[in-house]
Chains A and B, each alone.
Chain A
Amino acid sequence: EVQLVQSGAEVKKPGESLKISCKGSGYSFTSYWIGWVRQMPGKGLEWMGIIYPGDSDTRYSPSFQGQVTISADKSISTAYLQWSSLKASDTAMYYCARQRWYPDYWGQGTLVTVSS
C-alpha cells in the first residue's frame, strides 16, 4: 500500500526557519516524483514544485521559486519542504503527493502556523 506520512503540525514565529518532511512507503521512492501543494485557510490548492528523489532533479512553480526549497533523502525515502525565513502569509496546510504527470497519492498534510 502506497503511503505518504508527513511530519506534525508546527507553530513558528515570523523570521524563523522550518523544514517539514514526507516519508514514502509501499513503492519505489526513487522512481516517482514527489510534489508539494499549499492550501491556505479556506482556499484552494496551489502546486509548489516537485523533486525526483532518484537524482534530486527539482522544479518549482514560478510562484514559489526562491521562496521555498524542496529536497529529498532517498536513503530514508523522505522528501522535505523548507523555509529560511517564515512569514505570516506562509500559514497554511502543506501536502506532499506522489506525482506522475498528476498527483496520485497524497500525504495527510502538515499545518504550519506562523504568528508572532
Chain B
Amino acid sequence: DAGVTQSPTHLIKTRGQQVTLRCSPKSGHDTVSWYQQALGQGPQFIFQYYEEEERQRGNFPDRFSGHQFPNYSSELNVNALLLGDSALYLCASSLTLGEQFFGPGTRLTVL
C-alpha cells in the first residue's frame, strides 16, 4: 500500500514565477492538507481540502491556492513567487476526522 506521494521532489524557480505541486493521498484517505515548513521550523498549515472544497485555511495569502480532484489527489499552486516562499512543502492525508500522514515533501527553492 503506497503512502502519501508528492511530486516533484525538488524544484527551483525564480521570483515572480508560478509553481504547481502535486500530492496523491494514502489509499482510502479522503482529506488532504498542505503545509509549509521553513528550515528549522515546524510545519505551518496552509489549507485543507475535503470533497473537492477548501474546508479550512491558515494565514497564507491568496497567492496560495489549491485544488482537490475526484480521486482525492490534490495540487498546491503558488503565484508570484517570493524568496520567502523557499521551503519544504508537505502534503498530509487523512480520513475525514483522523490522524494525518505526511508525504516526503517537495523542496522549493526560489532564486
Are A and B interaction partners?
A: no
